[in-house]
């Protein structure tokens, strides 16, 4: 392709409001065009990269025994209602109706339709196992799209679904997909960390995420510096320190004027935060909930939501708290009746706590569970943070930021039971199909590769997913010898199967070199009047500081060698 004919326009700078370097560079390099909030058009350069990414995905999925299909995009809302996820997704799912007022959805994922499709084909245990995948545009009505291609309303995704007779078969399918994902990401030139994850709206019993480490990432992950423990912040656990137990004190009311926070309480009483309890008020759907945790810890709202069985969890408003007769800053579960209390299990590792007295300006000392209050639910609802002890060893946990690129789930029978997808086992008994699902964000791979491979000059594409492998830069374009030699080189590379973009524009050397760096093709070749007179071509790898010259007749072999390596 000649750059003079390519549908692209580079910019001097990217958008000033871009949060991620990938967003800035994709716009600046003319690779994507924003249609509306969270919706992008892929222009020729980005589309070439995406097609290469998809091909890598197809090759690895096929190698793992999965079969590609193409599902319908418009889906009946009824199947989502049957699975219960119409309500779970709430406003995040795009719903519409046709001219006959039939209710339809634009799906964010495809568990329902895939299960509905498969159940009519599986007549016996002999039909299992198998794995189906497809690459399709998905939709999610994100309230706050951000990060360019990272969190969008319309996105391309590969999702696969395995169907097995039992959990042992699911374990095998799950490991096959994990290995396929490892190969996919390695071939795409990106480094990922595999972490334990929360299953969220997808459901199921176990899941893992493939996280690309990035300071600008929206996900927090927790890693142990001593062992291989790794988890998403939503799922992460830690060893909670025990506090030396004392003889139980009697409750005493303490006057604590203008004390509203744990920090103020500790300063006022000269005590450690481990000796305090804090109560946080939530609404889940229409139910009021009090979450109680030790003062040195924070509440993990995903854990709390899962403990409560899912639903729409949010912090209660000040008005809702007051309506319950509670006083923010002085509240506790002591003496409260008829309210659901969820207590973090850290409370059982200490005693004689200081907590709110449910009275303005007062706290209680000597508060103990279960003597002084009831908790209908006791669970781990604490947030893991930097410096906490690893749950698997004595190592110290560290938090990092990252971007989710892939996610694998053990669904079990969550969807097969809801959609009545059964099969007769060898004894003739009907059993639900055991399922797994596996997703990869195609656009996120492109954005993630740029996050990991860029510098102040622009993108540094991994060779396997670069729009073109080589950019051939012709200087002195008014010189016929330069242009004739450049065209001969261009055609020779095409003949050798090398993906080449020829910058044949009548622009200055500075503009051409800046654009070559910005676009990020792995190898740059320069043909100029001086080089041709000297019988050489300049070669420079995008990720190397300096270039070098090589005789023209050896150029093709050298390019092939560098690209191979």
| Rounded average pLDDT over 130-153 | 93
Q: Which residues contact 560 (CB under 8 A, 6 or more apart)?
A: 496, 498
pLDDT at 201 over 70: no
- C-alpha dihedral (411, 412, 416, 419), degrees to nearest 10: -50
Residue 286 or 436, more confident: 436
Q: Provide the pLDDT confidence category of residue 303 given band limits of 50, 70 and 90.
A: very high
Average pLDDT of the chain is: 94
Q: What average pLDDT score do residues 447-456 get?
A: 96
Q: Can you tell me the distance from the alpha carbon of 227 to that of 302, in angstroms, rounded to the nearest whole number? A: 25
Beta strands in 51-205 (DSSP E): 67-68, 75-76, 94-97, 103-106, 130-139, 154-164, 193-196
Class in CATH terms, 18-234+397-449: alpha beta
Cβ contact 216:451 at 8 Å: yes
For residue 533, pLDDT over 80 is answered with: yes
pLDDT value at residue 65: 97
Q: Give yes or no for residue 375 having a pLDDT over 90.
A: yes
Question: Residue ranges of the domains in the chain?
Answer: 18-234+397-449, 250-381, 467-562
pLDDT at 286: 85
Handedness of CA 517, 520, 524, 527 (dihedral sign): negative
CATH number of 467-562: 3.40.50.800
Place of tokens 């692209």: 8
What are the CA-CA distances from residue 93 to residues 103, 415, 516 (Å)? 13, 18, 41
Would you tell me how many other CB atoms lie within 10 Å of the CB of residue 462?
20
Residue 137 CB neighbour total at 10 angstroms: 12
**In terms of C-beta density within 10 A (0-12 exposed, 13-18 middle, 19 or more buried), how is residue 286 classed?**
exposed
Question: CA-to-CA distance for 282 and 394, rounded, in angstroms?
Answer: 34
For residues 449 and 214, what is the distance between their CA atoms, to the nearest angstrom?
A: 11
Please state, in angstroms and rounded to a whole number, the distance separating the CA atoms of residues 525 and 474: 8
Same fold, 250-381 and 467-562: no
CATH class in words for 250-381: alpha beta
Q: What is the pLDDT of residue 53?
A: 98
53-85 pLDDT per residue, tens: 999 999 999 999 999 999 999 999 999 999 999
């Amino acid at each position: 392709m000649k750059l003079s004919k390519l549908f692209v326009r580079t910019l001097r700078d990217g958008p000033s409001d871009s949060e991620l370097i990938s967003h800035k560079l994709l716009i600046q390099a003319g690779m994507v065009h924003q249609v509306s909030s969270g919706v992008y058009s892929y222009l020729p350069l980005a589309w070439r990269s995406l097609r290469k990414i998809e091909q890598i995905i197809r090759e690895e999925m096929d190698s793992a025994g999965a079969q590609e299909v193409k599902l319908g995009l418009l889906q009946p809302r009824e199947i989502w209602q049957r699975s219960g996820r119409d309500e779970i997704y709430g406003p995040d799912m795009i719903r519409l109706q046709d001219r006959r007022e039939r209710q339809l959805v634009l799906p964010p994922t495809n568990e329902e339709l895939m299960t509905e499709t498969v159940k009519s084909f599986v007549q016996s245990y002999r039909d299992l196992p198998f794995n189906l995948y497809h690459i399709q545009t998905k939709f999610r009505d994100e309230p706050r799209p951000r990060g360019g291609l990272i969190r969008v309303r319309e996105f391309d995704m590969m999702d696969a679904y395995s169907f097995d007779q039992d959990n042992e078969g699911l374990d095998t399918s799950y490991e096959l997909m994990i290995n396929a994902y490892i190969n996919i990401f390695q071939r795409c030139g990106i480094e990922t960390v595999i972490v334990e994850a929360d299953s969220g709206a997808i459901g199921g019993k176990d899941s893992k995420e493939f996280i690309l480490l990035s300071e600008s990432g929206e996900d927090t992950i927790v890693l142990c510096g001593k062992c291989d423990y790794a988890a998403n912040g939503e799922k992460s656990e830690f060893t909670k320190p025990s506090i030396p137990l004392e003889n139980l004190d009697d409750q005493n009311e303490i006057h604590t004027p203008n004390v509203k926070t744990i920090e103020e309480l500790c300063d006022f009483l000269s005590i450690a935060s481990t000796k305090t309890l804090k109560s946080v008020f939530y609404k889940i759907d229409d139910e009021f909930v009090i979450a109680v945790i030790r003062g040195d810890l924070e509440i993990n709202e995903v854990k709390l939501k899962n403990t409560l069985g899912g639903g729409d969890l949010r912090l209660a408003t000040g008005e809702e708290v007051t309506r319950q007769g509670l006083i923010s800053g002085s509240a506790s579960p002591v003496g409260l009746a008829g309210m659901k209390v969820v207590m973090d299990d850290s409370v059982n590792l200490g005693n004689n706590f200081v907590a709110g007295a449910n009275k303005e300006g007062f706290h209680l000392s000597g508060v103990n569970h279960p003597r002084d209050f009831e908790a209908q639910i006791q669970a781990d609802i604490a947030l893991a943070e930097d410096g906490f002890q690893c749950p698997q060893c004595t190592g110290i946990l560290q938090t990092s930021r990252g971007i989710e690129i892939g996610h694998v789930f053990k669904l079990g029978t969550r969807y097969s039971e809801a959609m009545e997808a059964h099969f007769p086992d060898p004894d003739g008994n009907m059993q639900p199909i055991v399922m797994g699902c596996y997703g990869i964000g195609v656009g996120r791979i492109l954005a993630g590769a740029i996050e990991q491979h860029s510098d102040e000059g622009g993108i540094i594409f991994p060779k396997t997913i670069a729009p073109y492998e080589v950019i051939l830069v012709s200087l002195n374009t008014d010189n016929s010898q330069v242009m004739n030699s450049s065209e001969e080189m261009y055609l020779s590379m095409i003949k050798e199967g090398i993906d080449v973009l020829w910058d044949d524009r009548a622009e200055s050397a500075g503009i051409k070199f800046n654009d070559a760096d910005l676009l990020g093709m792995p190898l740059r070749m320069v043909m100029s009047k001086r080089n041709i007179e000297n019988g050489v071509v300049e070669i420079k790898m995008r990720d190397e500081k300096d270039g070098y010259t090589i005789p023209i007749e050896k150029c093709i072999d050298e390019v092939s060698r560098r690209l191979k390596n």
